[in-house]
Amino acid sequence: MKKNKISQYFIFVSCLTLFSVFVVIVQSSYSKLIGPSQTVQSDSSLNPIDLEINYQTIADIKKRQEFLPEQLNQFFVPTPVATDSANANLLD
């Protein structure tokens, strides 16, 4: 019987393909690992706070109309409240 020889070119292409697949797997794993930390670092809520007083905002707040408790009653509709005598009549 004759032995089949594997060519060196076939071995080279196989090794190169195996290496390429390994690199792609490592790259995708690394990007999934590093991706969330990069989005956290670029979050705008992590920017330093400006400690200077914004006088325009304070003036706008002072201009707002404040409601007194008596004025708030005009926005609410009174609801009927059940009394004990009404509940006693229901039970009979």
Distance, CA of 25 to CA of 40 (rounded, Å): 24
Q: Above 60 in pLDDT, residue 90? A: no
Q: Above 90 in pLDDT, residue 20? A: yes
Of 20, 17, 16, 40, the closest CA to residue 28 belongs to 20
Residue 44 lies inside a defined structural domain of this protein: no
Residue 52 lies inside a defined structural domain of this protein: no
Residue 22 lies inside a defined structural domain of this protein: yes
Distance, CA of 38 to CA of 45 (rounded, Å): 14
Tell me what pLDDT residue 57 has: 83
Residue 25 lies inside a defined structural domain of this protein: yes
Q: Can you give the pTM of this predicted structure?
A: 0.39
- Summarize pLDDT for 71-85 with one digit per residue, the tens: 666 666 667 766 666
Residue 12 lies inside a defined structural domain of this protein: yes
Domain enclosing residue 22, as ranges? 7-36
Angle 33-35-36 from CA coordinates, rounded to 5°: 90
Average pLDDT for 7-11: 90
- Summarize pLDDT for 23-51 with one digit per residue, the tens: 999 999 999 988 877 666 666 666 677 77
Residue 90 lies inside a defined structural domain of this protein: no
Angle 55-58-60 from CA coordinates, rounded to 5°: 110
Residue 16 lies inside a defined structural domain of this protein: yes
Count of CB atoms situated within 10 Å of the CB of 50: 7
